[in-house]
Chains A and B, each alone.
Chain A
Amino acid sequence: MESELIEKQAMIENDFCITFSTINGSGSATANITLMRALFRMGIPVSGKNIFPSNIQGQPTWFTLRVSKKGYLGRVKDDDIVVAMNPASLEKDIAALVPNGVMLVPDDLTFPELRDDIIVYKMPVRKLLKETNVSPAFRDYIANMMYVGVLASLLKIDITLIHAALEYHFKGSQKAVESNFEAVKLAFDWAEANLEKRDRYITAPMNGTEGYIMTDGNTAAALGSIFGGVQFLSWYPITPATSLAETLHDSLPKYRQDPETGKDTFAIVQAEDELAAIGMAIGAGWGGLRAMTSTSGPGLSLMTEYVGLAYYAEVPVVIWDVQRVGPSTGMPTRTSQGDLTMVNFMSHGDSQMLILIPGTIQECFEFGWRSFDIAERFQTPVIVLSDLDFGMNQWMTAKFEYPDAPMDRGKVLWEKDLDQLLEKNGGVWGRYLDIDGDGIPYRTLPGNQHPRSGHFVRGTSHDEFAGYTEDGDTWVANFGRIKKKIELARESLPEPVVQLREGAEVGIIASGSVDSAVVEACDLLSEEGNNVDYLRIRGIPFNKAIKQFILDHRVTYVVELNRDGQLSQLLTMDFPDVAYKLRKVAHMDGLPLPAKWITEQIRKSEEN
């Protein structure tokens, strides 16, 4: 009895990390997502991160599946289990294992005995494949299903849920479901009969995923935009933003056809490049459409000049930047938070863009719709900073919430509105005239038939009536009004999310997808008896509450995924008098930050 109890305590239940090491283009994605979905259906919190090359076929690729009963979704650096299907990366994969870690490997794969502290299970993939009647063309795909079966046996994953996951994946193609499941079952049965379990990892059903769905940030952003009433999308393909636009291509016809007329309430153009994509979106935004584009670093660089024009000419437009590693082509398939300072000043001349930074997948959806309200309210570009980790990875997330506010179309005048305004305002209206004293002028839209509505919009200097002028005082007055408008936005953007703990003297500030790692890091620090407070920024320019948070703490660590600490830089500029309290915790190697790395950095700094 006693030995059994010790045995049981030693098991590690619902808290480990599996890395699948495969060759890209070999169809491993289906196998990996199937396992992830089965675990999710068991009620176990899971997260999956695809670490893939900028390549179509033949290069090493990894998928890391984290199982976490506490619900942590961040990346873990070390692997508990490695499924090693790729001879080219074997040595690296073995080295990544924790002591007593597990390696699953096809039995015909030879490798050097590098470590004696790991458990190796050899899978007869080739032999089992022969027992299936699958055509040679699908062998590689089916081979990957074999490890699903073996893992299901070793980890006690409910095999009926694997079937359910396959049914969801192949949506109605019963033949595909059954041929894949046949391979899973074959390998499962083989493992049940032949493998003696020697490792400590195990899963068990729990109640940790109720009310959650699984999706990715690009899908969430696209769906959020649809509920935000997006009317125009112009875009150019670029990793990792492509799937955002493609989801809109797929979903807009489903959800946004007028049932009365059968007509679309939107239009999509795949542009010739990002220079044109942004031009089209700004044209449409000027025309009064809810207009957006989606891109990543290199595309964003190309868009810069037009965004500056939109800022100065006061045209609403929404730009999703799904960040990857830059500068230049950088690491196109790796994640980063490196575009922050660039988008903050995204123009030559003085500028300040409005920036939204979703920190959860649910917020990707929310900012999908909210960004349009903000862009139209303030008549300015809104840049939403997502990243590859959000955009292209599968996340468990709370269900999407329906917008809690009606659409805010801002100060738009149609014919009757203009008549009323002219009457109220002594017959005076100008496109850039600050009638309400809030810095936000009224705009008329092309097609307005009122004889006073037409005006000439331009990127050249203009007066309150949109007339060309090179008068310095006029420039100062107009540009000051734009600044006033942007300052007003400061407190109108989504406010920071604050998590306070008892007695905390130290604060952490972060934004975006590092949230999952920071949340975990805060818990780890608490477990060590070092409570920290956490503030997550969701909008720039910064809310004043952020300054108070910095003031309230002895020291505040700014955690981010870039080299230079860009968020820290912007905070320093905006709040110079409290900047001495900020400590940069920044790193960028193309992978999401692990919580342990964050705690190590903070511990090291606190010890000094």
Chain B
Amino acid sequence: MVTTSNQATNLVGLSRADYRGAASTLCQGCGHNSIAAQIVAACYEMNLVPEKVVKFSGIGCSSKSPTYFLGRSFAFNGLHGRMPSLALGALFADRTLEAIAVSGDGDTASIGFGQFKHLVRRNLPLVYIIENNGVYGLTKGQFSATAEKGLELKHQGTNPFLPVDLAMEALISNATFVARSFAGDPKQVKELIKAAIAHQGIAVLDIISPCVTFHNHENSFHSYSFGKTHEEPLHEISLVLARDEITVEDFERGTTREVTMFDGSTVVLKKLESEYDPTDKMQALNKLQEAADNNWLLTGLLYVDPNVPILFDKYNIPETPLNRLANEKLRPSSEVLDAINNSMF
């Protein structure tokens, strides 16, 4: 890749510019833009090769954002709520690809609820980012299923229903990596994306991403002011690449818990909570319930199990991408057909 010499480059010789996408067409100040910027930073720091990354999204404001990062990567912007099935089929073509998917709360918690949960259940290796703002933005402000009870909107009045908690939904569908973050906390967002990339199976990141235009009421879970004042980080998190040993020393062992990811890298959790163990699913569920009861925006890595076999481990497919198999591997010989004909009555 051609990079100018005065720019910093990563281990694969690329500069940050190589990870950028087109200019955003979302509203000024949209949380989604901040997330796109952190995806760029995370991919740069994780030394991903853009040509080895494939991006997916559904429909909605969130689903536009793959345009705004990794402009050199392949991408498919599918149907509303049905990105999971599209991604699953596509990744069978080349299992060596890194996949980053961006969805929204309408896309994931409503129309695509079924596909989301089934994707999680299958443990497809995919970073699944939900840019969660509790509102339908492109259709100019209707409640989504993650909107809190009691919120007021112009046309619909008061929201009478309790919200869907996507982190909880992911957990009970046996997700192998579940995190929640806040778009206004770029450092945590970036570190969680890096950890998600390092995770071998599905990584669900529910990122509260305030809608500046339709849903930024001060008392709302999905607003900047709420996030800034109610965010309760579980722990500070850093991803340490396997080959990058120096930073490990920066952490005080006594206050951290390390989780070794499948690729050999380590997620280091600096615990603010006394005994939070992100490998304990029941504790994660309890924490989420406690947070909901107390109106906290609980952020951090809620749960991870790095050792669960991924979808492709359940198949007898080669490491060689299926889409590069030669035609002669795909059509049995005429002798085989003769045998089939002869085996018929």
**Residue pair B54, A446 in contact (C-beta under 8 Å):** yes
Does A406 sit at the interface, judged by CB under 8 A?
Answer: yes
A215 contacts across to B, CB distance below 8 A: 344
Does B52 sit at the interface, judged by CB under 8 A?
Answer: yes
Residue of A nearest to B81 (CB): A275
Does B185 sit at the interface, judged by CB under 8 A?
Answer: no
Does B238 sit at the interface, judged by CB under 8 A?
Answer: no
Does B1 sit at the interface, judged by CB under 8 A?
Answer: yes
**Residue pair B340, A400 in contact (C-beta under 8 Å):** yes
- 0/1 per residue, B41-66, Cβ < 8 Å to A? 00000000111101100000000001
Cα distance A12–B327 in the bound complex, in angstroms:
53
Residue of A nearest to B71 (CB): A454
A:332-389 near B, CB below 8 Å: 369
- 0/1 per residue, B78-104, Cβ < 8 Å to A? 110010111111111110110000000
B321 to chain A, nearest CB (A): 5
**Residue pair B67, A455 in contact (C-beta under 8 Å):** no
**Residue pair A446, B114 in contact (C-beta under 8 Å):** no
B291 contacts across to A, CB distance below 8 A: none
Contacts known (A227-B332, A255-B332, A265-B325); A447 close to B96, Cβ less than 8 A: yes
**Residue pair B345, A449 in contact (C-beta under 8 Å):** no
B151 to chain A, nearest CB (A): 30
Contacts known (A275-B115, A279-B85, A279-B115); A457 close to B340, Cβ less than 8 A: no
Contacts known (A402-B337, A406-B327, A457-B75); A450 close to B87, Cβ less than 8 A: no
Contacts known (A229-B331, A275-B82); A287 close to B93, Cβ less than 8 A: yes
B84 to chain A, nearest CB (A): 7
A171 to chain B, nearest CB (A): 10
**Residue pair A228, B89 in contact (C-beta under 8 Å):** no
Stretch from B160-168, B187-195, B312-320 at the A interface:
B312-320
A282 contacts across to B, CB distance below 8 A: 86, 89
| The residue from A165, A227, A285, A291 contacting B331, defined by CB atoms under 8 A apart | A227
A41 contacts across to B, CB distance below 8 A: 345
Contacts known (A255-B336, A468-B67); A231 close to B322, Cβ less than 8 A: yes
**Residue pair A445, B93 in contact (C-beta under 8 Å):** yes
Instruction: Give the size range of B's interface with the partner.
Output: 35 or more
Does B77 sit at the interface, judged by CB under 8 A?
Answer: yes
- 0/1 per residue, A18-51, Cβ < 8 Å to B? 0000000000000000000100110000000000
**Residue pair A456, B75 in contact (C-beta under 8 Å):** yes
**Residue pair B76, A283 in contact (C-beta under 8 Å):** yes
Does A52 sit at the interface, judged by CB under 8 A?
Answer: no
Cα distance A527–B327 in the bound complex, in angstroms:
50
Residue of A nearest to B94 (CB): A447
Does B73 sit at the interface, judged by CB under 8 A?
Answer: yes
Contacts known (A227-B332, A256-B332, A456-B66); A267 close to B92, Cβ less than 8 A: yes
**Residue pair B92, A289 in contact (C-beta under 8 Å):** yes
**Residue pair B341, A279 in contact (C-beta under 8 Å):** no
**Residue pair A400, B341 in contact (C-beta under 8 Å):** yes
**Residue pair B88, A451 in contact (C-beta under 8 Å):** no
Does B323 sit at the interface, judged by CB under 8 A?
Answer: yes
**Residue pair A445, B323 in contact (C-beta under 8 Å):** yes
| The residue from A231, A273, A403 contacting B325, defined by CB atoms under 8 A apart | A231
B93 contacts across to A, CB distance below 8 A: 232, 284, 286-289, 445-447
| The residue from A229, A283, A290 contacting B88, defined by CB atoms under 8 A apart | A283
Does B139 sit at the interface, judged by CB under 8 A?
Answer: no
**Residue pair A267, B322 in contact (C-beta under 8 Å):** yes
Does A234 sit at the interface, judged by CB under 8 A?
Answer: yes
**Residue pair A265, B322 in contact (C-beta under 8 Å):** yes
**Residue pair A459, B77 in contact (C-beta under 8 Å):** yes
Cα distance A286–B316 in the bound complex, in angstroms:
22
Residue of A nearest to B70 (CB): A454
Q: Can you identify 19 A-B contacts, CB atoms within 8 angstroms?
A: A229-B330, A256-B332, A265-B322, A271-B85, A272-B115, A276-B115, A282-B86, A286-B86, A287-B90, A287-B92, A287-B93, A289-B323, A291-B89, A399-B344, A400-B337, A446-B94, A447-B94, A450-B51, A454-B50
User: Top 9 closest A-B pairs, CB basis?
Assistant: A287-B93, A283-B89, A279-B85, A229-B330, A288-B323, A280-B89, A447-B94, A284-B89, A213-B344
Extra 11 A-B pairs, beta carbons < 8 Å, given A258-B329, A306-B78, A455-B74: A165-B345, A262-B316, A269-B89, A282-B86, A283-B86, A283-B92, A286-B89, A400-B340, A409-B327, A450-B51, A453-B51
